[in-house]
Structures are given as C-alpha cells and as structure tokens.
Amino acid sequence: MALVSNSKLLRWRPTLHPNPLSTFSTAEALSEPDHAPHPSPSPQIQTQTQTQTQAQSPAHKNLELTICKMMSNRAWTTRLQNSIRSLVPHFDPSLVYNVLHAASASPDHALQFYRWLPRAGLFAHTPDTTLKIVQILARHAKLNHARCILLDPHAPRSEDAFVALIDGYGRAGIVQEAVNIFRKMPDLGVQRTVKSYDALFKVILRRGRYMMAKRLYNAMLREGVDPTRHTFNILLWGMFLSLRLDTAVRFHEDMKSRGIVPDVVTYNTLINGFLRFKKVEEAENLFAEMKGKEIAPNVISFTTMLKGYVAAGRIDGAMEVFQEMKSCGIKPNAVTFSTLLPGLCDAEKTAEAREVLAEMVERFIAPKDNAVFMKLLSCHCKAGDLDAAADVLKGMIRLSIPTEAGHYGVLIESFCKASVYDKAEKLLDKLIEKEIVLRPQNAFEMEPSAYNLMIEYLCDHGRTGKAETFFRQLMKKGVQDSAAFNSLIRGHSKEGNPDSAFEIIKIMGRRGVPRDADSYKLLIESYLRKGEPADAKTALDSMLESGHQPESSLYRSIMESLFDDGRVQTASRVMKSMVEKGVEKGVKENMDLVSKILEALLMRGHVEEALGRIDLLTVNGCEPDFDHLLSVLCEKEKTIAALKLLDFVLERDCIIEFSIYDKVLDALLAAGKTLNAYSILCKILEKRGSTDWSSRDELIKSLNQEGNTKQADVLSRMIKGTDGGPVKKREGKRKATLAT
C-alpha cells in the first residue's frame, strides 16, 4: 500500500480551542472515536485473585481496604510501615494490585506504597502493578513520577504502561514529551504495536498536529505495523478536527483499499466531518450507505444528521430524522434535544418545539446546555403563546434545572405587555421570596424592559414597597436603572411616603444616577400635602442641584406653604432661588406673594435680608410695590425699617408717591426720631429739590429743643434754598431728581 503523501497539504494550522474535541462533536459520545479499554490485569493475576478470594476469610477480603484506610489516616512513617508489615507479612501480586486500585483516589499514598514494597523486600513488582501505578499517576497528572518509574532500568515494563503515560501527556497538552516517550520505547526493550501508535495519534491530533500524524502513519507502515479500524477512526477524527477534508478522504480510501470494514464509529466520524464542511448531501449518502450495509445507526448517528440539518436550516429534515430515530427504537439523548429545540425555535415552529419539550421533560432528560430554555421562552413569548412559555419554566423546575432571573424576566415582560399583571406579580413574588436575582451563578440576568414594566405597575397600584424590595435586590447586583428609581420616587410620593421617596433620591445622588424633574415635583407636592414645607424646600434644593428648573407654580406652592407655616426666612430663600434661576415670568406672576414675604421680613426686623431680596428683584426688573411696603411699615410703627427702606429707594432713584415721603417723616417725628427724620429729609431735599412737608417747621423746632441746633440751622437753610423760587406742586408719582 502506498504511503500517504504530504506534498499536497496546505500550510495551514487550525485555530485550537482549550478543548479541541468540543469543536468537533455534538455530544460527549461524539467527541472522540471509540477508545481502547484501559489495560486490565493479566489473566494470571485475575485467576490468582479469584482463587485467593475464595480461600480468604471475610476479614482477609478487606485487607486492601484496611491498608488504604491506615495510609489515609496516618502519616507515612516507619511506625505505619511496621503496622502494615505486621498485618501482611507477605504480599502477593493480586493484593498489591488491589491495594493500588483501592488507593487510586490518593496518588501520593499509592506511590508511597508502591515504592516501599521493593525497598522493604516485601514484593518485587510485576508489569501489572507497574501498569496500575502509572495509570493512577497519569490520571492525576503526576507525569514526572510515572516517567521516572518507567525509565527505571529495574522496573518491569509493558507497552500498556507506556500507552497510559503517552495518554497522560496528551491530556496535559505536553505533546513533545509524549513523542519522546514513544521514541524511547525500543531503546527500553518495549516493542511498539499499533496500540502505541494509536495512543500517539490521538495525542498529536488532539493538538492539530496533522502533518506529524501523517509522518507517523508513514513511519508505522515502514515498520510493518498494520493499521486497524480503530487507527483509521482516530485518523479520520483528527483530520476532520484539523479541517483537512482531502486528507480525511484519502485515509478513508486507504482504509477501504486495505479491506478494513467501517463500523458505526467510522460512519459517525465521516458524517460529522462532512457536515462540518456543510456537505449535507455527502453526509446523507454516507448515512444511507451505512444503513444499506446493515450497520445500525446509533443515537450518535441520528443526532449528528439532525445537527447537520439544523445547521443547514432544513428543520423539516431534522424532524424526519428525529421521528425515524424514535421509530427505530432509539431513544433521543440530551444532545439530541439540545440540538433540535433551538432549531425549531429559529424556524418559529413553536407547536413542534412544545411537543419535543414535553417529551424531554416526560423522560426526565436534562439538556447539556441550559441556554435552550431561554431560547424556548423567548420563542413562545414572541409567538404570543404565554401558556407554552409558562410550561417551559415548569419543565425546568421538574428537571431540577436552576431557574434564573432572566427566565422569569422574559415571562414577566410578556405578561405585562399582555396586561396579565396578576400572573406577572405571582412570578415576581417567587423571584423575591427565593432571592433568585441574587444568585451568583446566574447566566441570564433580568432585562430592564422586564423589571421596569413590573416596577411601574406596582408603583401605579399602591404597592411601591414591594417594588422597592425587588429593586433593592437588583441594586445588589449592580443595577442602576434611572427609570426604575424614578418610578419608585413617584410611587412613594403618590402613596404619601415622601421620606422613602427622598431616600431613593439620595441613593441616586450617591450613585450618580440621573433624577427626573417630574419625580421631584411629585415628591415636593407629597411633602406639601403632608404639611412638611421645610422638607419640600430641601427637596427643591436637591432638584436645583440636579440641574432641573422647577416651574413657577412649584416655587409658589412651596413659598405659600412656608409662609403659612411661619417660615418667612425660608420662604425668602426660595424666592431668592427663583429670582437667581432666572424665572422672571414666574416672579412677576407671583409678586403678590413676594410682597407678602418682603413685608413679613421687614415687620419681623429682618431688614437687611429684605433689602437684599429687594435689591435682587430690582436688578432683575421685578421692582416691588414700595408705596405699599412703606405705608404698612409706617402704620405698624416700624419706623427704622421704613427709614432704611426709604433710604434704599432714594439711593436707587426708585419711583414712589410723594405722600409716602411725608408718611415716613411723620412717623419718624411722631416716634421722636428727629435725627433720623432730619437725615432722610436732607436726602429728600437733595434728590427732589423741595418739599412741602407740613411738619418740617416742627422738625426744626424739635431739633433745636433737643440741642441739635446745627442740624436745625442746616435744614432751615436747605429749605429756604429750595423755597427761593416758585415751586410747582406735583401730584401723583414723580421721580426725585438731583438738585443742581
């Protein structure tokens, strides 16, 4: 037979995955071709063991278990060794083999026991006991220890032991060491058979070394080692894994030319390989050929064909294979269902998907990939079949598959959109009670479109507390959804729990979540309804800090509530905020309330604060009614406040009634504040040039009587200066002008 040529192979290396076998198979059974069974003890050992077992007492039958228990409970010391020696003065091959087998889970104990026996002169190892310790060490990745044992010149070796070590290096991904051990076998007096070649083929092909595999195959032929069906199954699997279709076909032809009859594993490998290249027709021909040769397809064969049809979008063909599979008496496995159900969902065949799911649940077969349930839920919800979607969740529970927040979320969203809120709320109750949201292993989290609908519904129907309990679970998972936060604020505000709403706002502020202006408005209104205007003002400040501009009506509501509660200065600060934020129109619309606040400030003696507010209003074009304010102050005998306000008016050339001057002067004079009256009258004379105040002579007289003769003289001269010529009386409002 001609050797397989390397000359036509493209220089391409496939992208290798952490587990190369996962890129090839549809199930764990498809991952590799049929494996040779692990080497077992020789017939001599088995016969000897059986004979001794029959002759041994029940206590002696458990010697190996007793020794293993002693090793596991005590440190490996001379005392322990003496205890074992006293228990068993002489070891036979079957007992050593059984002790090693019983200690398989503890490779360190097994290795200590193995090395101790020959050193203590109790036993000379056989190829079977060496094979057993190498298998144990290779299985636990203690490859250096296993290698040292095999390379020991006094160790009894067998090909099976080298095969076990090669396989161990392969599982660890250490290809070169596996090759080195393989090459050392002839030098160590161990003949290589097809068994060794098969083990190395599997190692190198698992890592995509298809060129090395071809060279090894040619070397095997040159050495006169004939490949077996198992050899070709491995080679076909590896070439398809490396995406070498042409090479796989040549190996298949070589197999047939050697008269090696393919088995079901061969056909499964070929079918799966062709389907990887989207060659559905070739796979169908192989499937038919297999049945024509009376090689019964197994579950892997049907599942592989089914997967190919699903990948090609031929879902009807997949269903035909599925039905044929069942008609042949072959039961679908987890991989079959995991492959078929997503295909039915993609093809929107919801009725068929529901039937297949029911069959899977009835047989208590859990799929390998739980993502199929999310696909089923989404598919049924999209089709509007909410009962079928609910059955998916029930099926998961029956199969003991952990339900996740994402699964509930799909159903809750669909129920809410269909206005079936009672069912959605029942699902939410389970979600909250079992704290499913907080499970760290969740692969599917609840989407905002789901929990926002539910939270909004609860907040609109007086169950904001439940909504907040649920959302706090979401917050622990890092959710910071602005819409959900604002829904909670609105819900608490409507239900008369503004403190709870404000706490939500504080949380949003700490987390940097945007806050909604409407939510603030509802919160403030809730505080006002509850009769807590100071808290409403605090909420207003928070609203302004968030960059929102309240409406003028909201300002007015807060100012009125504060004013009615006697918090004049706080109301004044709200007014200041309104003016500073540029709500000119709102200020002008609320000048009646502004005037009340200013009046209350002046009446209470907060004159400087009132003048500051008046100055701010004036600068922003919102001049208050000075005539009214001055008149009220005079009537209430708040002469100092009236004096300061009139001084403010004169300094800024504001327009007031002339009669107001007289009112203020009369009030000052009546209160005995002659110097104050003198001071303000001088300013009036400077600003307007003359005055016909009837009590000015009385003021001069009072100044003289009080000893303020200088002031009286100055005032007299000023009055005469202004009265030197005819002065036209002015009625109504006029602006005082500077005297020239």
As a whole number of angstroms, the distance between CA 305 and CA 321 comes to 7
Asked if residue 666 belongs to a domain, the reply is yes
Closest CA relative to residue 368, chosen from 339, 348, 391: 339
Confirm whether 567 is domain-assigned. no
Domain span at residue 656 reads 625-740
Rounded to whole angstroms, the Cα distance separating 68 from 80 reads 11
What's the predicted TM-score (pTM) here?
Answer: 0.71
| pLDDT surpassing 60 at residue 29 | no
The pLDDT score that the predictor gives to residue 691 is 64
What is the amino acid identity at position 711?
Q
Window from 18-27, 46-55, 223-232, 391-400 with minimum mean pLDDT: 18-27
**What is the percent of the chain with per-residue pLDDT over 70, rounded to a whole number?**
88
pLDDT in tens, 280-298: 999 999 999 999 999 999 9
**What six digits make up the tokens of 479?**
């959710």
**Token code pair at residue 104:** 């398989």
| Distance (Å, whole) CA 738 – CA 578 | 35
What would the DSSP string read from start to end of 641-673?
HHHHHHHHHHHTT--EEHHHHHHHHHHHHHTT-
| DSSP structure string for 458-520 | HHHTT-HHHHHHHHHHHHHTT---HHHHHHHHHHHHHTT-HHHHHHHHHHHHHHT----HHHH
Question: Which helix (H) or strand (E) is 734 found in, with range?
Answer: strand 733-734
Give the three-class secondary structure for 451. Answer: helix
Over residues 67-79, the pLDDT tens digits come to 999 999 999 999 9
Collect contacts of 18-23 with beta carbons under 8 A, ≥24 apart: 20/206, 20/207, 20/208, 20/241, 21/206, 21/241, 23/241
At position 184, the amino acid (one-letter code) is K
pLDDT of 33 over the 60 cut? no
Residue 515, both tokens: 């806050």
Residue type, 192: R
Q: Please say if the pLDDT value at position 42 is more than 70.
A: no
Tell me phi and psi for residue 200, to 5 degrees: -70, -35
Q: How confident is the model at residue 708 (pLDDT cuts 50, 70, 90)?
A: confident
Would you state the pLDDT for residue 55? 38
**Mean pLDDT computed over 334-338:** 94
Q: Which residues contact 632 (CB under 8 A, 6 or more apart)?
A: 599, 603
Least confident piece of the model among 165-169, 495-499, 552-556:
552-556
CATH number at residue 699: 1.25.40
Based on the number of CB atoms within 10 Å of its own CB, is 661 exposed (0-12), middle (13-18) or buried (19 or more)? buried
Q: Is residue 694 in a domain?
A: yes
Structural contact between residues 736 and 650, judged by C-beta atoms closer than 8 angstroms: yes
pLDDT at position 623: 86
Position 57 confidence tier, pLDDT thresholds 50, 70, 90 = very low
Q: What's the token pair of residue 30? A: 């498809």
End-to-end CA distance of the chain: 131
**Torsion over CA: 119, 120, 124, 129 (sign):** negative
Closest CA to 615 of 648, 574, 655: 648
> Would you give the DSSP letter of residue 733?
E
Q: Which helix (H) or strand (E) holds 323?
A: helix 315-327
Alpha-helical (H) ranges within 547-638 are: 552-564, 568-580, 584-589, 591-603, 607-619, 626-635
pLDDT-derived band at 668 (thresholds 50, 70, 90) equals: confident
Any domain includes 443 = no
Q: Using an 8 Å Cβ cutoff, are 26 and 304 in contact?
A: yes
Q: How far apart are CA 85 and CA 83, in angstroms?
A: 5
Three-class DSSP category at 606 = coil
Contact 399, 369 (CB under 8 A): no
Into how many domains does the chain fold? 1
Classify residue 630: in a domain, yes or no. Answer: yes
Under a CB-based contact definition with an 8 Å cutoff, are residues 269 and 33 in contact?
yes
Structure tokens at 382: 């999209």
Classify each residue of 296-305 as buried b or exposed e, where b means 16 or more C-beta atoms within 10 Å of its C-beta: ebbbbbbbbb
Q: What is the 3-state secondary structure (H, E, C) of 377-419?
A: HHHHHHCCCHHHHHHHHHHHHHCCCCCCHHHHHHHHHHHHHCC
- Residue 319 has a pLDDT of 95
Residue 62: per-residue pLDDT: 79
Please give the Cα distance from 663 to 646 (Å, whole number).
Answer: 11
Identify whether 141 is part of a domain: no
683 domain-assigned: yes
- Position 158 scores a pLDDT of 93
| Contact between 126 and 156 (Cβ < 8 Å) | yes
Give the residue from 676, 686, 679 showing the smallest Cα distance to 740: 686
> What are the pLDDT digits (tens) for 214-227?
999 999 999 999 99
Q: Quick check: is 3 in a domain? A: no
Mean pLDDT of the chain: 86
Tens-place pLDDT, residues 7-25: 333 223 333 333 333 333 3
Residue 342, amino acid: P
Residue 102 has pLDDT above 50, yes or no: yes
* DSSP for 145-176, written as a single string: HHHHHHH-TTS---HHHHHHHHHHHHHTT-HH
CB burial of residue 383 (10 Å; 0-12, 13-18, 19+): middle
Tell me the per-residue pLDDT of 315-334, one tens digit each, with 9 for 90 and over: 999 999 999 999 999 999 99
**Partners of 657 in the beta sheet?**
733
Query: What is the number of residues in the chain?
Result: 740
According to DSSP, residue 442 is labeled -
Q: State how far the alpha carbon of 567 is from the alpha carbons of 498, 590, 609, in Å.
A: 20, 18, 14
pLDDT at 47 over 80: no
* CA 167 and chain centroid, separation: 40
Query: Nearest-CA neighbor of 315 among 339, 299, 279?
Result: 339
